[in-house]
Amino acid sequence: MADWTVEDLPDCAGRTVVVTGANSGIGLAATRALAGAGAHVVMACRSVDDAEAEREAIREEYPAASLTVEELDLADLESVRAFAGRLDDPVDVLCNNAGVMAIPRRETEDGFETQFGVNHLGHFALTGLLFDRLRAAPNPRVVTQSSGAHAAGEIDFDDLHGEDDYGKWDAYARSKLANLLFAYELDRRYDAVTSVGCHPGYAATNLQYRGPEAEGSRVRLAVMKLINAVVAQSAEDGALPMLYAATADDLDGGEFVGPDGLLQMRGPPAEQQSSDRSYDEETAGRLWRVSEEATGVEFP
């Protein structure tokens, strides 16, 4: 996969790809590339108006692009169930991409700590609810977006939702570790579905701004904008690991794909090793059971 770019994206005609968080950042960049390669992309977004505006912009670039906008709020399991219920056709690829990062402690509609609830539990439930649609496709794949921050994460089953001790970065790292534990466990449990983890490195998106905006910190917001401008790669480059994970023929499942450049923050996609904790099968199995209980979603 040396120097793999969007130009190496294979023909995706006839394939349906669901991308969560498709209206901005990495999700939008991936959506544009997949639509340009011929895929039918379901843009699963909390903000339908923003997604529809971006859909029209993509169609200006690719007039033949096939795009559907569907409302999906990962912070509300009722919304997740409703979204899954509206999809009738086989799903070839599910890109679990949307997320929140380093925000003050809040709770989802279902009482979960928001970062853990959106980044992990929402996507866990979505994958389970779409599982039959995935298995109806010839070679289904699930791609789950993690982060290099997963390496600092720990799964504390006694305080998963930070009710006793909450740190915004600790909670983010925990949710990103959970993403990989889920991705690997999914691949171990089901031969019929290829499950791959990925991370974007450091890409300039609105994700970095949500924490400072939620805290009302203009100073932190200004600092993040400066760092994004100086250090980060583009959202288009940040989307490459997810695009590779979603389409490459040489992935068997259970891989972790990220940028192959400086400190794994930028560069072309490459297969990498994640943290030792992410491969802990006992933790992964327990997290799976806890996630089923929390969401009420059981996999077939």
Residues annotated catalytic, as ranges: 172
The two three-digit tokens of residue 208, written as one number: 């970095």
Q: By the 8 A CB rule, do 118 and 74 touch? A: yes
Amino acid found at 68 = T
Residue 171 Cα distances to 119, 125, 152, angstroms? 10, 19, 10
Please state the length of the chain.
300
DSSP 8-state symbol, 80: H
Neighbours of 286 (CB within 10 A): 15
Report the DSSP pairing between strands 40-45 and 66-71: parallel
Contacts of 72 (CB under 8 A, 6+ apart): 20, 44, 45, 46, 79, 80, 83, 98, 126
Contact 76, 108 (CB under 8 A): yes
* E strand intervals along the chain: 16-20, 40-45, 66-71, 93-96, 141-145, 194-198, 256-259, 269-271
State the DSSP code for 41.
E
Do 198 and 240 meet the contact criterion of CB atoms below 8 Å apart? no
Bridge partners of 55, per DSSP, are: none
Find all residues with CB under 8 Å of 289, minimum gap 6, and list them: none
Instruction: Name the maximum alpha-carbon separation found in the chain.
Output: 52
